[in-house]
């Protein structure tokens, strides 16, 4: 049930649905979310059921402003405050120590919680309407079946749940998402900022705001002291030694499975030369293939071609919509040109790599 979000009555209807432990399709600047009261375990269970998502796979909680973070987080490091001030509202999720009695179901059983403040005006209007009803955060993973391509329009959400028990849920139409891929996720629970999922915000941008390096993954953490048995991080503005055992306690985060964001068609990633060679070899025998590339390629007439933008932000904005469009055709294979190995392409490259896995 797609609602006109410019009508205040639609926001009221959606907020009342949330207050009744229901689900709502909510637009954000990244992708559309499947929203429910983050502190209501019955409502959160509906998210997992609707998506077919494992209940130990944590959800991100969306808040109206930084003040609401204290409802869910027991501690906010100084570098996390800096990130909130610089990038909220916006496409950044922070993993923080969780308040013991808050959002346990949404956290997937972890003692940490992912929190972000979205930049979309419709999402913020819904969050404020829910706050007026005593609901101070919405768990809202992407509004799609688990592991599949994320939705970037209200129609995508309607199509995703059209033949399920949730086909009548309200979906607020906020237009096409301006960012188009999910938020950057930074783990703030280990004394140093650690990138768990790339997005449109780059590591150099984040590091500059933090005033210290944002470490990209566990391997970089181990390399922080050039191969020694421990690494150092900042905590309470002091350098402290952290043992490698801390790496084992790294929180799970949304969208970090090896295979994710996958269309029904099989995805393969090749550089432009490999793509052209494969197309030349197949010639007129190429059947049920789509090519998504920045480089112009010679193809047989039956090959479905889509041009990827040369600018990373535009490519991010269009990626999921393009994959969904191609998936609605009779193709079996989607060949995607390999992406540049530069920071601004990290988020798009991550999504394409997981789609191909």
Q: Looking at the predicted structure, is the pLDDT value of residue 222 above 60?
A: no
What's residue 300's pLDDT?
Answer: 82
When pLDDT is averaged across residues 293-300 and rounded to a whole number, the result is 91
Quick one: tokens of 331? Answer: 């193709």
When pLDDT is averaged across residues 55-71 and rounded to a whole number, the result is 94
Residue closest to 247 by CA, chosen among 198, 199, 197, 187:
187
pLDDT digits (tens, 9 = 90+) for 90-116: 999 999 999 999 999 999 989 999 999
Specify the pairing of strand 60-62 against strand 24-26: unpaired
Task: Note whether 33 and 62 are within 8 A (CB).
Answer: yes
**Taking the complete model, does pTM exceed 0.75, yes or no?**
yes
Q: Using 50, 70 and 90 to split pLDDT, how confident is the model at 292?
A: very high
Helical packing angle, 78-87 and 203-210, nearest 10°: 120
**DSSP type of residue 262:** B
| Residues of the chain above pLDDT 70, percent | 88
pLDDT digits (tens, 9 = 90+) for 43-53: 999 999 999 98
Quick one: tokens of 143? Answer: 């509004």
Radius of gyration of the chain (CA): 21
The structure tokens 């953490």 sit at 221
Tell me the three state secondary structure of residue 64. coil
Residue 214 CB contacts under 8 Å (≥ 6 apart), including other chains: 186, 193, 194, 195, 203, 206, 207
Tell me the three state secondary structure of residue 349. helix
| Residues of the chain above pLDDT 90, percent | 75
When pLDDT is averaged across residues 258-287 and rounded to a whole number, the result is 86
What's residue 86's pLDDT?
Answer: 98
pLDDT digits (tens, 9 = 90+) for 110-127: 999 999 999 999 999 999
pLDDT digits (tens, 9 = 90+) for 9-53: 999 999 999 999 999 999 999 999 999 999 999 999 999 999 998
**DSSP type of residue 66:** G
Specify the pairing of strand 60-62 against strand 138-139: antiparallel
Q: Looking at the predicted structure, is the pLDDT value of residue 261 above 90?
A: no
What's residue 219's pLDDT?
Answer: 47
**What are the φ/ψ torsions at residue 205 (nearest 5 degrees)?**
-60, -50
Average pLDDT, the chain: 89
Q: Which range is least confidently modeled, 59-68, 83-92, 101-110?
A: 101-110
- How many other C-beta atoms can be found within 10 angstroms of the C-beta atom of residue 325? 14
When pLDDT is averaged across residues 147-163 and rounded to a whole number, the result is 94
What DSSP assignment string belongs to 140-181? --BSSSTTBPPP-SHHHHHHHTTTSTTTTS-EEE--S-SS-S
């Amino acid at each position: 049930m797609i609602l006109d979000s410019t009508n205040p009555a639609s926001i009221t209807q959606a907020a009342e649905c949330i207050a009744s432990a229901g689900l709502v399709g909510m637009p954000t600047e990244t992708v559309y979310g499947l929203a429910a009261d983050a502190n209501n375990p019955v409502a959160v269970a509906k998210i997992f059921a609707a998506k077919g998502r494992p209940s130990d796979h944590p959800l991100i909680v969306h808040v109206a402003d930084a003040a609401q973070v204290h409802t869910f987080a027991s501690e906010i490091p100084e570098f996390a405050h800096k990130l909130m001030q610089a990038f909220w509202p916006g496409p950044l999720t922070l993993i923080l120590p969780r308040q013991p009695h808050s959002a346990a179901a949404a956290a997937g059983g972890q003692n940490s919680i992912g929190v972000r403040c979205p930049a979309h005006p419709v999402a913020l209007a819904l969050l404020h309407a829910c706050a007026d009803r005593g609901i101070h955060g919405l768990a809202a993973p992407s509004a799609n079946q688990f592991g599949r391509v994320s939705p970037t329009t209200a129609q995508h959400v309607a199509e995703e749940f059209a033949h399920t028990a949730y086909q009548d849920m309200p979906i607020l139409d906020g237009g096409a998402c301006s960012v188009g891929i999910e938020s950057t996720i930074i783990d703030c629970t280990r004394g140093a900022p650690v990138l768990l999922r790339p997005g449109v915000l780059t590591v150099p941008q984040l590091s500059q705001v933090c005033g210290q390096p944002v470490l990209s993954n566990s391997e970089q953490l181990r390399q922080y002291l050039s191969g020694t048995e421990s690494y150092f991080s900042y905590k309470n503005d002091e350098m402290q030694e952290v043992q490698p055992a801390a790496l084992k306690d790294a929180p799970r985060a949304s969208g970090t499975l090896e295979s994710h964001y996958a269309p029904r068609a099989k995805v393969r990633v090749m550089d432009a030369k490999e793509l052209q060679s494969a197309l030349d070899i197949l010639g007129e025998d190429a059947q049920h293939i789509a090519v998504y590339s920045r480089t112009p390629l010679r193809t047989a007439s039956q090959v479905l071609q889509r041009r990827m933008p040369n600018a990373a932000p535009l490519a991010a904005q269009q990626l999921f919509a393009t994959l969904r469009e191609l998936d609605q055709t009779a193709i079996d294979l989607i060949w995607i040109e390999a992406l540049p190995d530069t920071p601004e392409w990290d988020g798009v490259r991550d999504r394409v790599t997981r789609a191909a896995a």
